Chain A
């Protein structure tokens, strides 16, 4: 096992129906601290791969080591805990829980997971969240209802929630596809800034190849996934 690998998949097979595997990966290694751009045509299994990495899905075969833990050997609640404590996740859109305020949304991972709460810099979770949101230019919207924010603002709040409590892995699933080019630029800059600061590994899934040069490493999933070969 590579000690520096954040994600290491070996001989992994997964299908929603066991007879028709959707993913078959002989080896996929993502080094810790790297910024990885993962791309591929739709339907090539990007979201499925993210499901395996985050532990929502469990492969039928093979090993899937994420941040030092063999996901296939963990129980479902343990995988959920591991995901919540060590990974930040940014969706394409609608990242925020509608019934909570902006501040509550950002603070939520630290409220749920002790590990993330321990790693905050400021003395309280609220202060930490306020600090992050201020850096994102969202200090005027702390107590607002998330539905009152623009999509660009929502995605920025999503960054704050993904990086609060310094998780070692940040996963972004097409986070810019609903943003206009200006917002996209702001979003990418902020995302990189925060990931660099926390030395988090970033896995960025997108079909927008114009973004790929900014990353340390580019992985085309349809080349890794052997079911298509």
Chain B
């Protein structure tokens, strides 16, 4: 007990160095906890983006690109699929519902996704949540649009306002000026890529591209008022989501789509594709963990240096303690205790700091990146880290302790 008090007093008397070393350890622990939590959050965020969807179908290609462009709005579809194929599978007896998706346009950097009302009715995220309208309702006319929550907030668009989409993705000069869309609804917050997208109807997508078949704007654009749904013929879409009536039939249907003769298609099971994604991302996770591990080593070494350089000044103190009847092993314990206390403080402040940070920035990170930073308890990995830090601190403390032990043996009561 006296040793513990002495260790505390000794650390307090060297407040500045103690704070610095505690800070450097806390920072690295914070990094470790942060990396772990972001990794977990990213994983649950990604997995939560899509639920109750058994298959994602697109043009023949890799499963990962298909998942990324259809669900996460990352990258572009390499190929379109014909609307006929979509209709064929939409009417398949094993299918419960389908959601068609057609991408290609953007609005101030936000993806424009053409779909139909099945999307609002059947799309599920985070284990069964369905889409809710914060304002307005799903589109009814050809030129109606629905905005994701973040998109609406950042574009300052309200229900009833009009917007002119640009052709193609990022920073296109070409604008669909002839056919402005009207915002009819704004979706509630979901923490998924849905928040950052603009949803229009397949008919609207087709309508604004009327006359654009050559890839360039038509010389005489067709004004909105002259377009009727019966004149429009949807030819292609980018992908579609499928829910089958039973999980068993999903496997058969996947096989049927992959071997569909009229058109080369790819059907993927989202969970499987996500597994592939994790194996790609785990390398980044390992790299981040290594960096935070290295920072931790630096922090612990800083502590070792601080304790070791103080040793010479403390020979006197040790001699006094010896004269007061402290056993040489108690001197040893004092030094180990000091380093252990520093690392415990570092861990406590590090974990507390990380949680404080999640608490402060958690909401905005979730809004902006769709990574939920939940305030749950320590994961097993983080618990292991913290124990490892304390043990490493104690073990490093052995070095100055052994030195102090030998000094004290040689000095006895005579150190000056």
Residues of A within 8 A of B (CB): 47, 50-51, 54, 56-57, 76-77, 80-85, 89, 91, 94-100, 104, 108-109, 111-113, 173
- CB of A47 within 8 A of CB of B414, answer yes
Residue in A77, A95, A108 whose CB lies within 8 Å of B329: A77
- CB of B325 within 8 A of CB of A56, answer no
Return the chain B residue nearest A57 by Cβ: B412
Return the chain A residue nearest B313 by Cβ: A98
Q: B316 at interface (Cβ–Cβ under 8 A)?
A: yes
The verdict on A84 contacting B326 (CB below 8 Å), with A47-B414, A56-B413 known, is: yes
Q: B84 at interface (Cβ–Cβ under 8 A)?
A: no
Mind listing 25 A-B residue pairs with CB under 8 Å? A47-B413, A51-B413, A56-B412, A77-B327, A77-B329, A80-B325, A81-B325, A83-B325, A84-B324, A85-B325, A89-B324, A91-B319, A91-B320, A91-B323, A94-B316, A94-B320, A94-B416, A97-B321, A98-B13, A99-B9, A99-B12, A99-B14, A99-B317, A109-B325, A112-B326
- CB of A108 within 8 A of CB of B324, answer yes
Q: Cβ of A109: which chain B residues have Cβ within 8 Å of it? A: 324-325
- Tell me the residues in window 1-40 of chain B with beta carbons closer than 8 Å to chain A beta carbons: 2, 6, 9-10, 12-14
Shortest C-beta distance, A126 to chain B (Å), equals 14
Q: B328 at interface (Cβ–Cβ under 8 A)?
A: yes
Q: Cβ of B328: which chain A residues have Cβ within 8 Å of it? A: 76, 80
Q: Cβ of B6: which chain A residues have Cβ within 8 Å of it? A: 97, 99-100
Closest 10 CB pairs of A and B: A84-B325, A99-B13, A89-B323, A56-B412, A99-B9, A80-B327, A99-B10, A77-B327, A83-B325, A51-B412
Q: Given contacts A91-B413, A98-B13, could you give 19 more A-B pairs where the C-beta distance is less than 8 Å?
A: A51-B412, A77-B329, A81-B325, A81-B327, A83-B325, A84-B325, A84-B326, A89-B323, A89-B324, A89-B413, A91-B320, A91-B323, A96-B320, A97-B320, A98-B317, A99-B317, A100-B9, A109-B324, A112-B324
Residue in B2, B14, B320 whose CB lies within 8 Å of A95: B320
- CB of A83 within 8 A of CB of B323, answer yes
Q: B158 at interface (Cβ–Cβ under 8 A)?
A: no
Q: B322 at interface (Cβ–Cβ under 8 A)?
A: yes
- Tell me the residues in window 365-416 of chain B with beta carbons closer than 8 Å to chain A beta carbons: 412-414, 416
Complex-state Cα separation, A5 to B255, whole angstroms: 102
Q: Cβ of A104: which chain B residues have Cβ within 8 Å of it? A: 9
Q: Secondary structure at chain B's binding surface: helix, strand, loop or mixed?
A: helix
Most chain-A Cβ atoms within 10 A of its Cβ — which of B2, B6, B13, B413? B413
Q: How many residues of B contact A (CB 8 A)?
A: 24
Return the chain A residue nearest B325 by Cβ: A84
Shortest C-beta distance, A24 to chain B (Å), equals 19
Complex-state Cα separation, A81 to B325, whole angstroms: 5
Shortest C-beta distance, B323 to chain A (Å), equals 4
Shortest C-beta distance, B407 to chain A (Å), equals 13
- CB of A56 within 8 A of CB of B322, answer yes
Residues of B within 8 A of A (CB): 2, 6, 9-10, 12-14, 316-317, 319-329, 412-414, 416
Residue in A50, A76, A108, A173 whose CB lies within 8 Å of B327: A76
Q: Cβ of A173: which chain B residues have Cβ within 8 Å of it? A: 413
Q: Cβ of A94: which chain B residues have Cβ within 8 Å of it? A: 316, 320, 416
Complex-state Cα separation, A50 to B319, whole angstroms: 13
Shortest C-beta distance, A81 to chain B (Å), equals 6
Shortest C-beta distance, B354 to chain A (Å), equals 31
Shortest C-beta distance, A112 to chain B (Å), equals 5
Q: Cβ of B329: which chain A residues have Cβ within 8 Å of it? A: 77
Shortest C-beta distance, B122 to chain A (Å), equals 69
Complex-state Cα separation, A98 to B11, whole angstroms: 11
- CB of B9 within 8 A of CB of A111, answer no
Complex-state Cα separation, A67 to B116, whole angstroms: 99
Q: Cβ of A80: which chain B residues have Cβ within 8 Å of it? A: 322, 325-328
Complex-state Cα separation, A137 to B412, whole angstroms: 31
Shortest C-beta distance, B188 to chain A (Å), equals 58
The verdict on A112 contacting B320 (CB below 8 Å), with A89-B413, A104-B9 known, is: no
Most chain-A Cβ atoms within 10 A of its Cβ — which of B321, B323, B416? B323
The verdict on A111 contacting B2 (CB below 8 Å), with A47-B414, A97-B317 known, is: yes
The verdict on A54 contacting B413 (CB below 8 Å), with A83-B323, A100-B9 known, is: yes
Complex-state Cα separation, A162 to B31, whole angstroms: 50
Complex-state Cα separation, A57 to B408, whole angstroms: 12
Shortest C-beta distance, A117 to chain B (Å), equals 12
Complex-state Cα separation, A7 to B62, whole angstroms: 92
Complex-state Cα separation, A55 to B392, whole angstroms: 35
- CB of B325 within 8 A of CB of A50, answer no
Return the chain B residue nearest A94 by Cβ: B316
Return the chain B residue nearest A147 by Cβ: B13
Complex-state Cα separation, A173 to B2, whole angstroms: 26
Q: Cβ of B14: which chain A residues have Cβ within 8 Å of it? A: 99
- CB of A112 within 8 A of CB of B10, answer no
Q: Cβ of A84: which chain B residues have Cβ within 8 Å of it? A: 324-326
Shortest C-beta distance, A1 to chain B (Å), equals 24
Q: Cβ of A50: which chain B residues have Cβ within 8 Å of it? A: 413
Complex-state Cα separation, A112 to B327, whole angstroms: 11
Complex-state Cα separation, A56 to B320, whole angstroms: 12
Q: Cβ of B13: which chain A residues have Cβ within 8 Å of it? A: 98-99
